Chains A and B, each alone.
Chain A
């Protein structure tokens, strides 16, 4: 899709926050649906080559969710709560069950840019700068990133 704008990322030096911004050739309603419909979400959340199975999913204010992504025969489970779900904003918690004490508070905004375009902004807040940095560096030396160079090449060579 030639009209997409590449993902930008910002790690705040003074707060345990990661911010991600990306534009999509879709309406806020479509983007919202891709984040709240479990069948749609499972199609794009996992890394390439993974298989994501939604365990439970209640995308309403006060609901909860859990999914397991299987990659190379290993299952990675994630769970959290939907704190608030509304068309322009989702607030949710996010925990990787391999590190059950860690929890991120994620806020997603769907900014309507008009003409069927939407800017997604995701802010992840964790409990310490150290935790954030471990998060940033995570997956760097595990099997999750096998074949990473290949993917990197794919990205720099243009759309997949």
Chain B
């Protein structure tokens, strides 16, 4: 489930125009006309991009007789950040273990002076 959302979000953001629209909306809500202005493309094309962003829950476009401005939905960004942060933390944990191994290697190098590394991993292996 999380991977599905992540997929949709990343595919939606794979397009430079859509990333641009997201960046623009990060500064504030905007109407579709305002969003279309900087681009040489039809309103139709802008609507198409917005639909992709909407399907990824990145933006919302409240419907009504008077169309309201497009708004950036930050929740999914927070979610995405959380996944990436967890992945980062797992890497960080791995590298803290590596820090310890490197520190032990340094000590062994000093003691031996011949570059031989003591195998200090017995307690970690079966």
Q: Which residues of A contact B (CB under 8 A)?
A: 1, 4, 6-9, 11, 13-14, 18, 20, 22, 24-26, 30-31, 33-34, 37, 39-40, 42-45, 47-48, 51-53, 70, 120, 129-130, 132-134, 136-141, 145, 148, 151-152, 155, 159-160
Q: Can you identify 28 A-B contacts, CB atoms within 8 angstroms?
A: A1-B103, A4-B96, A7-B92, A7-B95, A8-B88, A9-B87, A9-B91, A22-B91, A24-B102, A34-B102, A37-B117, A40-B121, A43-B101, A43-B121, A43-B124, A44-B98, A44-B101, A47-B93, A48-B97, A129-B11, A130-B10, A133-B10, A136-B87, A137-B2, A137-B83, A141-B2, A145-B86, A160-B96
The answer to whether A39 and B119 touch across the interface, beta carbons within 8 angstroms, is: yes
Name the residue among A22, A47, A48 with the largest chain B CB count within 10 angstroms.
Answer: A22
Name the contact of A26 in the complex, choosing from B86, B93, B105 (C-beta under 8 A).
Answer: B105
Inter-chain contacts of B86 with A (CB < 8 A): 140, 145, 148
Task: Classify the interface of chain A: helix, strand, loop or mixed.
Answer: mixed
Task: Classify the interface of chain B: helix, strand, loop or mixed.
Answer: helix
- Interface size on B (CB < 8 Å)? 40
Across the A-B interface, give the 8 residue pairs with the lowest CB-CB distance, nearest first: A44-B97, A26-B102, A137-B3, A7-B92, A43-B121, A9-B88, A133-B6, A44-B98
